[in-house]
Chains A and B, each alone.
Chain A
């Protein structure tokens, strides 16, 4: 008979760890459901006696969160489409065609993932300023249409495992490279594109530096910046700040649960960078 003690210890450690990890979540939710008087009552209750959604309503109207959500959704949707189109195209180029300097280019692409964004931030800001694109969504959206290094890497890994016979069969049928990319490989890449879409969504939804640098007018704010503004303005109404914070958190968790499969697979692939 095998000793079951280690298994029990493992399980106990995991349960304890999971509980500790959940405390900040539980408290955030609990605080967001309290009225101000209940929040300030002593001794503080762990869970509100009469949970209320009033804080969400107040936060939602105190600042135009519906506008922030719309802005963020707009930017996120465009970036996601842009990344899926451009990264798959570039990945196709890197995985299916031979040309001089290809490996050097792909090496540069991998290296660029390790580059700290601060090194390019200031000149890039100057470019957008020169183009009068400050306080528009252009600086946040347009680069997504030029392929993201990580997404290209991910899709290229995927394409390397797609048999070339597929392309060749289409070629025999008279399809050119563009047709092959669009009608043959795009459908095959479905799961990998889903991964790209999930990562792009999560990245853009929570993006902070970019919107902070480029957006000045509150009517163009994204949720991340709007939340920061809310904290600045209504920091004292803590239960409302918590409700606003949840408005920012919940979509990421929902998307994660909907797309968990693609998500875990994508991350596991990124670890291949170590190989």
Chain B
């Protein structure tokens, strides 16, 4: 038994080493840094000053936090609903399912820098696809990335290009795991398609839905590369998302203490949201009692 344990530790040791050196250690180090002013050359203890200043004297931070929250509030529900809807459509035994699945999946394969560059054109005021399409409907051109009222909706819209990605495949796998006998039984009892979806499919899918929502929120809070490429944060900070502002604070201004405080605020926010979701999940997530 002791030998068993020794081998076990030995085999997991690469991960454990990486975890300690690149995850656990740095987490504590960034907490430490967040109470200091540090620019790679000199370090000075300032107590909670970094945190205090973020919330009192840095209007860019507050705006960055606000637009990121709004972005998540829009992009996550729309994105999750879109992925679920696509998965349900694809699960209807339609002709050419593999082709459709591939077509819907492709956008999420596009690297984020490339996505940013391509969508810069989609949002182009004069000859972008979106304004040309809207023009056919008689809508006057919108300066998506130049008019700060439209920047956030533009980013949400762009995020929806990815609804056919990983999340949809996970939903589809979940849907395919639901025994048909259950929905058929409900149909025999006279349940409408909507009621069958609402009362049979959705509860059985709830663990997957929960997983997708939790990961979706975490992902939305970290939107970075597309904003970096498309707008650099503008206009008027309307797309200076949290992770972008954090990156610029750390690696362009080299205010590493302040950036560490921002990182911890992000971490605490995500912990709180995730914790709340786990707490709330007891009311709506249905776990099958499986044999495993």
Which residues of A come within 8 Å of B, CB atoms? 6-7, 10-11, 13-14, 17-18, 21-25, 27-28, 31, 44, 86-87, 89-90, 92-94, 96-100, 102, 105, 108-109, 112, 114-127, 129, 143, 145-147, 149, 152, 177, 181, 202, 205-206, 208-209, 212-213, 224, 227-228, 231, 238, 241-242, 245, 248-249, 252-253, 256-257, 260, 264, 267-268, 270-271, 273-275
Please determine whether A264 and B169 come into contact, CB atoms closer than 8 angstroms.
Answer: yes
Separation of A256 and B1 alpha carbons in the complex (Å): 44
Check if B19 sits within 8 Å of A121, measured CB to CB.
Answer: no
Do residues B30 and A119 form an inter-chain contact, with CB atoms below 8 A? yes
Partner of A24, one of B92, B112, B119: B119
Whether A152 pairs with B222 at a CB distance below 8 angstroms is: no
A252 touches B100 (CB 8 A): no
B14 and A209 contact, CB distance less than 8 A: no
Chain A residues within an 8 Å CB radius of B246: 118
Q: Please name all residues of chain B whose beta carbon is closer than 8 Å to the beta carbon of A274 when the two chains form the complex.
A: 170, 174, 207-212
CA distance A242 to B104 in the complex (A): 21
Which chain B residues (1-18) contact chain A, with CB distance < 8 Å? Answer: 1, 4-5, 7-18
**B263 touching A121 by the CB < 8 A rule?**
yes
Least CB distance, A11 to chain B, in whole angstroms = 6
B229→A209 contact, CB < 8 A = no
Complex contacts, B18 vs chain A, CB 8 Å: 143, 146-147
Closest beta carbon of chain B to A121's beta carbon, Å = 7
Closest to B221 in A: A116
B216 to chain A, nearest CB (A): 12
Query: At the interface, yes or no: B27 with Cβ under 8 Å from chain A?
Result: yes
Segment of B53-61, B143-151, B264-272 in the binding face:
B264-272
Contacts A97-B4, A228-B229, A256-B109 known; A213 to B251 CB distance under 8 Å?
A: yes
Q: Decide if A93 touches B107 in the complex (CB within 8 Å).
A: no
A152 partner residues in chain B, CB cutoff 8 A: 15
Interface contact B225-A146, CB-CB below 8 Å: no
Q: How far is the CB of B91 from chain A (nearest CB, A)?
A: 10
Closest to B122 in A: A24
A-B contact pairs, 24 of them (CB 8 A): A7-B94, A21-B161, A23-B129, A28-B118, A44-B127, A86-B15, A93-B8, A96-B8, A114-B214, A114-B270, A116-B263, A118-B266, A120-B23, A121-B250, A122-B259, A123-B26, A149-B15, A208-B112, A224-B111, A224-B113, A242-B117, A256-B106, A271-B169, A271-B212
Residues of B contacting A238 with CB < 8 Å?
121
Q: What is the bound-complex CA distance between A34 and B114, given in angstroms?
A: 19
Q: For the complex, is B233 an interface residue (Cβ under 8 Å from A)?
A: no
Cα–Cα, bound, A22→B56 (Å):
45
Decide if A275 touches B287 in the complex (CB within 8 Å). Answer: yes
A90 and chain B: residue at smallest CB distance: B15
Q: Which residues of A contact B229 (CB under 8 A)?
A: 228, 231
Task: Indicate if the CB atoms of A231 and B117 lie closer than 8 Å.
Answer: yes
Q: Is the CB of B208 within 8 A of A102?
A: no
Complex interface: chain A residues within 8 A of B193 (CB): 6
Are the CB atoms of A21 and B103 closer together than 8 Å?
yes
Q: Is the CB of A98 within 8 A of B27?
A: no
New contact pairs (11) apart from A27-B118, A264-B169, CB-CB < 8 Å: A10-B92, A21-B104, A28-B118, A90-B14, A119-B26, A119-B27, A143-B22, A241-B117, A249-B114, A274-B174, A274-B209
Q: Is B79 an interface residue (CB 8 A)?
A: no
B41: min CB distance to chain A, Å: 12
Most buried by A among B9, B113, B211, B266: B113
Instruction: Report the bound CA distance from A129 to B41 in whole Å.
Output: 12
A149 to B15, CA, bound (A): 8
Q: In the bound complex, what is the Cα–Cα distance between A212 and B116 (angstroms)?
A: 16
* Chain A-chain B contacts (Cβ-Cβ < 8 Å), number: 255
Interface size class of B (residues with CB under 8 A): 35 or more
How close is A256's CB to chain B, nearest CB, in angstroms?
A: 5
Q: Which residues of B contact A120 (CB under 8 A)?
A: 22-23, 26-27, 30
Residues from chain A with Cβ under 8 Å of B274 in the complex: 114
Given A122-B256, A227-B114, A274-B208, verify A102-B8 contact (CB < 8 Å).
Answer: yes
Contact across chains for A24 and B14 when beta carbons are under 8 A apart: no
The residue in chain A whose Cβ has the minimal distance to the Cβ of B260 is: A122
Nearest 8 pairs of A and B residues by beta carbon: A93-B11, A146-B18, A97-B8, A274-B211, A206-B111, A271-B170, A268-B173, A123-B26
Shortest distance from the beta carbon of B230 to any chain A beta carbon, whole Å: 10
User: In the complex the two chains form, what is the Cα distance from A224 to B25 in whole Å?
Assistant: 29
Residue of chain B at shortest CB distance from A230: B117
Query: Which A residues lie within 8 Å of B10 (CB)?
Result: 93
Given the known interface contacts A24-B118, A99-B5, the answer about A227 and B113 at a Cβ–Cβ threshold of 8 Å is: yes
- Rounded to whole Å, the gap between the CB of B132 and the closest CB of chain A is 9
Residue of A nearest to B31 (CB): A119
Residues of B within 8 A of A109 (CB): 15, 19
